[in-house]
Amino acid sequence: MEEVFEKLTRAWARRNEGAVSRIFTVPDDVKHLDTRQLAELEKALLDWAAQARRRDVAASRRRILLLYLVIRHTGARLGEACACDPVRDYQAEDRTLGLGQDGSRRRVPLSQALADELLQAVADGVLDSSVEAPLCVDQAHLRRKLYERADECGLPRELVNPSIIRRSRGIELLRQNVPLPVVQRVLGQSSPNLAGDYLDFSDADMDATLRRVMDRESRRTSARNSFFGQVTRITRGDIQAEVRVAALDGHEVTAIITNDSLDRLGFREGGFATAEVKAPWVIVCADEPGRNSASNQFAGTVARISQGKLTTEIIVRLGDGLEVCAIITEESRRVLGISEGDRVRVMFNAFSVILNAE
């Protein structure tokens, strides 16, 4: 693990040498999962847990899901995740989870969603608060279930072991410009040759840095008309470029940006970006494929309608909780006869998409 992070240290240093090198590149021989692959594995575990019929089986599957979430979002070692107690080790006032032994113990901030998930599991009796390590499961059993889920979503088995998931979290944080010393402290890396000559960070600095990352990650999944995902293809023209982003839920968004923006923001195939579109630019129509020039078309269900005298806000749920907000005239809504629960299609042009570099 330390040899791997020495390579990442060098990559991080190259990335921060100056404005010319704005892309953090992982060495080819460092095995890891990217953010999209981690999300695919999480979805496979969620679906698997939801399919359980017996209560004891459902509880067992949910514990495995929770272990994955702890490792994936905190970078904990498998042994640390199994040994932690969401009741004893969690502090609600600063929303942190204690990991590790007394001599090397650290506190890692949690997203609100993960904190709620752990506490809900305790409330539901999935995690027994009376035992010392309620998350502890047989490690061989955990690995088998991770391999099975990897097979379901087409991921190589050798990339879904807990050590690589933990490493992937570290790489993910480095990609988001979290300083290397902070990443090392989150992961519990204490070797001095990894910290090198970089500045030290106080606990308050580390906490503030990680909370900014947690907030940004939460917005990726909760913001309307925001598609976070991986850049799958870039087609460069003489003045503008077409950029395709495969969102974590599977939808692909096409954007047209200038070549100057492409170079300045450092977009590349395999990298990550957030595609956003303003609500007034979204067109709503009946769920019937038709011939038109809109590059982005998605089918969904009307979740909510907020009617006004002149304009109306329509929230369309595409799937996996992803929502698109459209603002149309109330007269258009009446003409189309759109009501809550209707199947509709939302469309927007590639020129309407704003791309944000990650």
How many helices (H) and strands (E) in the chain?
A: 12, 13
Q: Which of 172, 201, 220 delimits the end of a domain?
A: 220
CA distances to 15, 22, 150, 266 from 18, in Å: 7, 7, 38, 13
User: Do the domain assignments include residue 64?
Assistant: yes
Residues 45 and 164 in one domain: yes
Residues 175 and 230 in one domain: no
pLDDT level of residue 216 (50, 70, 90 thresholds)? low
Residues 41 and 102 in one domain: yes
Task: Tell me the average pLDDT of the chain.
Answer: 83
Q: Which of 194, 220, 246 delimits the end of a domain?
A: 220
Residues 16 and 154 in one domain: yes
Residues 251 and 311 in one domain: no
| pLDDT at position 1 over 50 | yes
User: Do the domain assignments include residue 168?
Assistant: yes
User: Do the domain assignments include residue 251?
Assistant: yes
User: Do the domain assignments include residue 291?
Assistant: yes
Strand partners, 96: 91, 109
Mean pLDDT of 124-146: 89
Residue 244 sits in a domain of what CATH number? 2.40.50.100
| pLDDT at position 4 over 90 | no
Residue 35 sits in a domain of what CATH number? 1.10.443.10
Residues 302 and 271 in one domain: no
Three-class SS state of 331: helix
Q: Which residues contact 37 (CB under 8 A, 6 or more apart)?
A: 155, 159
User: Do the domain assignments include residue 358?
Assistant: no
73, 114 Cβ separation under 8 angstroms: yes
329, 311 Cβ separation under 8 angstroms: yes
Q: Which residues contact 93 (CB under 8 A, 6 or more apart)?
A: none
Residues 133 and 18 in one domain: yes
Torsion of CA 191, 9, 174, 69, to 10 degrees: -40
Among 49-63, 127-141, 146-160, 328-342, the least confident range:
127-141
User: Do the domain assignments include residue 180?
Assistant: yes
Could you tell me what percentage of the chain is helix, strand and coil, using 3-state DSSP and rounding each to the nearest 5?
A: 45, 25, 35
Residues 153 and 209 in one domain: yes
Percentage of the chain lying above the pLDDT 90 cut: 45
209, 201 Cβ separation under 8 angstroms: yes
Total count of domains within the chain? 3
| pLDDT at position 237 over 60 | yes
Residues 269 and 301 in one domain: no
Mean pLDDT of 257-267: 90
pLDDT score, position 212: 67
The CB-based long-range contact list for 319-322 (8 Å cut-off, 24+ gap) reads 319/249, 319/250, 320/43, 320/249, 320/250, 321/221, 322/227, 322/247, 322/249, 322/251
Query: Taking CA 246 as the corner, what is the angle to CA 242 and CA 249, rounded to the nearest 5 degrees?
Result: 150
Three-class SS state of 91: strand
Confidence (pTM): 0.67
Residue 328 per-residue DSSP state: E
Three-class SS state of 125: coil
Residues 156 and 79 in one domain: yes
Question: Which residue segment(s) compose the domain that 78 sits in?
Answer: 2-220
User: Do the domain assignments include residue 355?
Assistant: no
Per-residue tokens: 268: 């590349």
User: Do the domain assignments include residue 205?
Assistant: yes
| Radius of gyration from C-alpha coordinates of the chain | 22
Residues 188 and 294 in one domain: no
Q: Which of 203, 220, 237 delimits the end of a domain?
A: 220
| pLDDT at position 19 over 50 | no
| DSSP string for residues in 25-72 | ---TT-----HHHHHHHHHHHHHHHHT--SHHHHHHHHHHHHHHHHHH
Mean pLDDT of 164-189: 85
Residues 145 and 19 in one domain: yes
CA nearest to 80, candidates 111, 66, 101, 103? 101
